[in-house]
Structure 1
Amino acid sequence: MKLNRVNVIVTVLSLGSIAVALGYTAAQLPPPANKKAPTAEQSVKPVTTSAAVSLLPQVGVVVVNGQEYQAEVVGFGEARPRYELTLSAEVSGKITQVNRQFESGQVIKKGALLGKINDTSYQQALTQAQTDVAQAELDLLEEQRQGEQAKAEWLRSGLSGEPASPLVLRTPQLAQATAALDNAKQALKKAQQDVSYTHITAPFDALVVSRDIQPGSYVQTGSQLGTLYSVAEVEISVPLSELQWQNLPAFDNAQLVKAPWDVTLFSADGLHQWQGYIERVEQHLTQTSRQRSLIVVVDNPLLQTTDLYPGTFVKAHINGKSLSNIWQLPSSAISQQGDIWFVDDQGLLAKAPATVAFEKDGFVYVSPIVTEQTNEQKNQPSVMQIVKRPLSSFKVGTKVLAKVEV
C-alpha cells in the first residue's frame, strides 16, 4: 500500500507542474489577431516620386547633335584587265613551233614569240611580189623612155598646138605603168605582212589565260590561238546609287587625268588591300542596274605586295566630300523598319524615318530629324536623345526613363 501512495503523490505533483508550465506559456503568447479586413487607408502607403520613376521602362540612349563629317562611299566591283584579247591567226597554215612560255599562268612581254606557222608558201609569195615590183619598175622606165621619144618626134614634126590624142605622147601608157608599180608595191607589202603573221607574237605585256594550239595543228585565218589579259593595270567598274554620287565631288574626266582620286580597295574577306585611283567616270546608266559607274584603276596588279588577280571581287572605299550638320549614330540605332526612335523632352518615345547619308566603321551618319522642338530652334544645334537599340515592341508615346550610354 505504501508503494501505491507514493506513486499517486508523484503523479499528482507531475500534473501540477505541467499545468503551471502551460499557464506561463499562455501568458507569454501575443493577443489573437483581429480577423477584420484592414481599411484602404491602413493597407496602402503613399508612393514617392522616386518610386514612380523607378517603375518606368528604362531605355539606353545616345545624345547627338549635328556636326561635320567626311563622307565615305562604299561600292563593289570585279577586277578586270584593261585589255582582254582572244588571239587569232592572221594566216592559214600548220603550227610548226609553240613557245614554252605560251602556257596558262605565264606572264609574257610585248613582242614575245608565242609560236610559228609554216611560212613556205608565204615566202614564195613574197619572192613573187618582189619580182613583180622589179618588173613594174622596169616597165615604168621603158614607158618613160618611150614617152620622151614620142615627145621629141612630135616636136620635130613642126606641128603646132597639142596632139589630137594623148596616145601620141603616150600619157595614158605612162599612167598605167605608174599604177602597176604602185599595185606591185602594195602586193609586196601584203606578202611581207603575211610572212610576219606566221610569227605569232604578244601585242602587249600579257598574262596567258589559255592556249588553244599545239605543234602540228592546222589553223585557218581567224582561228583562235589563245586568250591574253593585259597586266599593266586592272580596272574595277563600281556602280553607285544616286545618293552615293551626291556624297562625292563632281568628278570631271579631264580633271581626273591630271589629278586622279585615290581609292582604297579591300578583298572580300578584308584580309588584303590595294591602293587605286579613279581614272574616269561613265556618262551612262547600265541597263541592268540603272546606275552610273566610276572606273577605278590599279597599276601593275601582279607586282603588288599581294597580287590583285583579274576576276577578284573587291570592296572600294572612296573618301567623299565633307557634310555639315550630320548625326553620327551606332548602326544599331536604325530599326528594322528604317526608323530612328528618340526620347522627347517629356520623356515619351517617338520615331521618325532615317535619312542615311553614309555608313562607316560601325556607325551610320544621318540627316537630323525635324521635330516641333528643333523646328522652333532653327538657329540652335539640335540635341536629341536617340535610342541606341530600339525594340520591335516600342510604341509611340510610351513614358520611359532615358539612360545615357557611351
Structure 2
Amino acid sequence: MQKPPKQALAVVVITVVAIVIALILFALRPAPQQSEIVPHTLIIDVAVAEKQPLTINVQSQGTVQPHTETNLVAEVSGQVMRVSPNFENGGLVDKGEILLAIDDRNYRAELKRAEASVATAHSNLVQEKGRAAVAKEDLRKYPRKHVSEEAKALSLRLPQLNEAKARLNSALADRRQAGINLARTQIRAPYHGMIKARQVDLGQFVSAGSVIGQMFSVNTAEVRLPIPTDRLPYLELPGTHDGDVQPRVVLEDDVGNRWPARIVRSEGVLDERSRVLFVVAAVEDPYRLNSEGEVLRNGTFVKANIEGREIPDLVPVPRHILRTGNQLWVVDENERLRNRDIKALRTEGKMVYVYEGLENGDRICLSSVPNAISGTLVKVNTEVSTRELLDGSRPDGLSALAEESEAR
C-alpha cells in the first residue's frame, strides 16, 4: 500500500488546527452589548384653529383703457388752414380748445347769403301784413254776402301771409344752418383729454365725414377684469345688492407700482366662450394731472386684487401645509399626528380658507413632515392662533392704498 504524500498531510494538519482555533475563539467571544432604541419625537409648530369672519380677495388681470375715447371727424369740407400745437400725439387739450381750423371763406359767404334771404323774407312778410290789413279794412267797409270761406280768406290775403311767414322761417333755418356750418370749420376738443393720434396736417383737404384724429379722456381710466363663476360668490358687485356697493381694488403693474381703484359696474352677462363675468374697475386721474404718484398709462397690463365680501366661520391656514386630497395634519390630545379631511374655498395666494373639517381649538401642524404617518408622536415647539397668521400689514395693500386715496 502506497503512503500519502507529505504535502497532503500538511494540508490536513493546517485545516484541523485552523478549525480548532476558530472554535476556541467562538467559544471565548464576549457577550453582545444590549442597547434600548428610543423612538424619535418630531418637533413641530402648530396653529390653534379659531373660526372668524374674513373677506376673501379675488385676483384678476386686464389692460387699462380710457373711459371715453372719441374719433374726431370733420363735419364740413375744406382745406386745413391752422393746426393747434397741442394737436399732436400725446398732447393734452382742454375742453373747447380749437384743434384744427378749416378754410371758412365759402361758409362765411353762405352765411351772408342766408342773412340776405332772411332780410328779404322779413320784408315780404311786412308787406303782406300791410296788404292783409288793408284787405281786412275794405272787407269791413264793404261786406260781401254769400261768399265762401275760401274766397273770404283769399280776399283777406291769408294764403299770401302764411306763405310769407313760411319763407321767413325757411330763411331763418338756412341762416341757422349756415352759422352751424361756419362754426364747424373750427374743430374743438369735446372734453379735457389727450390726443391719441392725428391723421391730417396743414394744407390737407378734408371732406365731411373723414376722421382727422383720436383723443381720450384723462379724468378716468377703466380696466375690464374677468371673474370666473366660482369666484363670484366671494364678491359684492354693483347692481346685485341694495345700496351703492363699489368694492375696492388694487391694481399693480409688472414693476410693482400700485393704484387704488373701485369696481363701478359689471357687464351682467357671462362670456359664452370663457364662462367668466367681466367687471369694470375705474381709476380716477390716471395721468396724475391733479394728484401725485405714478402715471397709469392706457394700454398698461395690470394685475388686480379685488376686495371680497365678508364670509363667516373661516379658518385661515398656510397653503403649503395642505396635503394631497385636501388633508391636514392635526395633533390630538395624545400628542400624535392625525389625518383630517377638510373643505376649503377655491382661492389664490399663500393662504387657504377652510370652511369645513376644523373646529375651534384644533391644533394644526404647520411644520413640514413628509415621512410622517398617522399616529406619529410629536412635540409642540411653538403654538399660535390662526387669527395671528393674518395679523400685521396686509400683503395686498388694500388698506394702505385706500388711506392714500382718501388723503388725496
Query: CA, structure 1 residues 46+92, in 2 after alignment: closer, same or farther (shift >3 Å)?
Result: same
Match of 1:355 among 332, 344, 349: 344
Q: CA deviation at 1:340?
A: 3.1
Partner SS for 2:235: coil
Cα distance in 2 between the residues matched to 1:301 and 1:80:
10
| 1:86 equivalent in structure 2 | 71
Partner SS for 1:265: strand
- The one-letter code matched in structure 1 to 2:95 is K
Instruction: Map 1:270-309 onto structure 2 (within 5 A).
Output: 270=256, 272-303=257-288, 304-309=292-297
| 1:319 equivalent in structure 2 | 307
| 1:197 equivalent in structure 2 | 184
1:170-215 deviation per Cα after TM superposition (whole angstroms, max 9, x unaligned): 2222222222222211111111111111112111111111111111
For the pair 1:364 / 2:352, whether they are aligned, the reply is yes
Cα distance in 2 between the residues matched to 1:217 and 1:340:
73
For the pair 1:101 / 2:90, whether they are aligned, the reply is no
Instruction: Map 1:230-309 onto structure 2 (within 5 A).
Output: 230-249=217-236, 251-252=238-239, 260-270=246-256, 272-303=257-288, 304-309=292-297
Partner SS for 1:115: strand
Cα distance in 2 between the residues matched to 1:84 and 1:238:
19
Q: CA deviation at 1:169?
A: 2.3
Whether the aligned pair in 1 keeps the contact of 2:337 and 2:374 (CA below 8 Å) is yes
Query: CA, structure 1 residues 390+210, in 2 after alignment: closer, same or farther (shift >3 Å)?
Result: farther
Gaps of at least 5 residues in structure 2 are: 1-22, 383-408
Q: CA deviation at 1:358?
A: 3.7
| 1:178 equivalent in structure 2 | 165
Query: CA, structure 1 residues 282+400, in 2 after alignment: closer, same or farther (shift >3 Å)?
Result: same
For the pair 1:385 / 2:370, whether they are aligned, the reply is no
Cα distance in 1 between the residues matched to 2:341 and 2:127:
97
Cα distance in 1 between the residues matched to 2:105 and 2:26:
129
- The one-letter code matched in structure 1 to 2:162 is A
Whether the aligned pair in 1 keeps the contact of 2:57 and 2:305 (CA below 8 Å) is yes
User: Aligned pairs, how many?
Assistant: 353
- The one-letter code matched in structure 2 to 1:363 is M
| 2:211 equivalent in structure 1 | 224
Q: CA deviation at 1:102?
A: 0.8
Query: CA, structure 1 residues 338+399, in 2 after alignment: closer, same or farther (shift >3 Å)?
Result: closer
Q: CA deviation at 1:289?
A: 3.2
Q: CA deviation at 1:367?
A: 1.9
For the pair 1:329 / 2:317, whether they are aligned, the reply is yes
Whether the aligned pair in 2 keeps the contact of 1:61 and 1:403 (CA below 8 Å) is no
Q: CA deviation at 1:67?
A: 2.8
Gaps of at least 5 residues in structure 1 are: 1-29, 375-379
Q: CA deviation at 1:152?
A: 2.2
| 1:26 equivalent in structure 2 | none
Q: CA deviation at 1:352?
A: 4.1
Whether the aligned pair in 1 keeps the contact of 2:268 and 2:277 (CA below 8 Å) is yes
| 2:199 equivalent in structure 1 | 212
- The one-letter code matched in structure 1 to 2:310 is S
Whether the aligned pair in 1 keeps the contact of 2:247 and 2:308 (CA below 8 Å) is no
Query: CA, structure 1 residues 266+145, in 2 after alignment: closer, same or farther (shift >3 Å)?
Result: same
Whether the aligned pair in 2 keeps the contact of 1:64 and 1:386 (CA below 8 Å) is no
Larger radius of gyration: 1
Q: CA deviation at 1:103?
A: 0.8
- The one-letter code matched in structure 2 to 1:230 is S
Whether the aligned pair in 1 keeps the contact of 2:54 and 2:311 (CA below 8 Å) is yes
Whether the aligned pair in 2 keeps the contact of 1:104 and 1:208 (CA below 8 Å) is yes
Whether the aligned pair in 2 keeps the contact of 1:233 and 1:301 (CA below 8 Å) is yes
**Taking every aligned residue pair, what percent have the same amino acid on both sides?**
26
Partner SS for 1:234: strand
Cα distance in 1 between the residues matched to 2:186 and 2:240:
39
RMSD: 3.5
Match of 1:342 among 326, 329, 332: 329
Q: CA deviation at 1:243?
A: 3.7
Partner SS for 1:284: strand
> TM-score if structure 1 supplies the norm length?
0.74
Cα distance in 2 between the residues matched to 1:196 and 1:255:
47
1:62-105 deviation per Cα after TM superposition (whole angstroms, max 9, x unaligned): 55343332322333222211111111111111111111111111
Query: CA, structure 1 residues 239+185, in 2 after alignment: closer, same or farther (shift >3 Å)?
Result: same
Cα distance in 2 between the residues matched to 1:149 and 1:388:
112
Cα distance in 2 between the residues matched to 1:65 and 1:404:
18
Cα distance in 2 between the residues matched to 1:63 and 1:84:
54
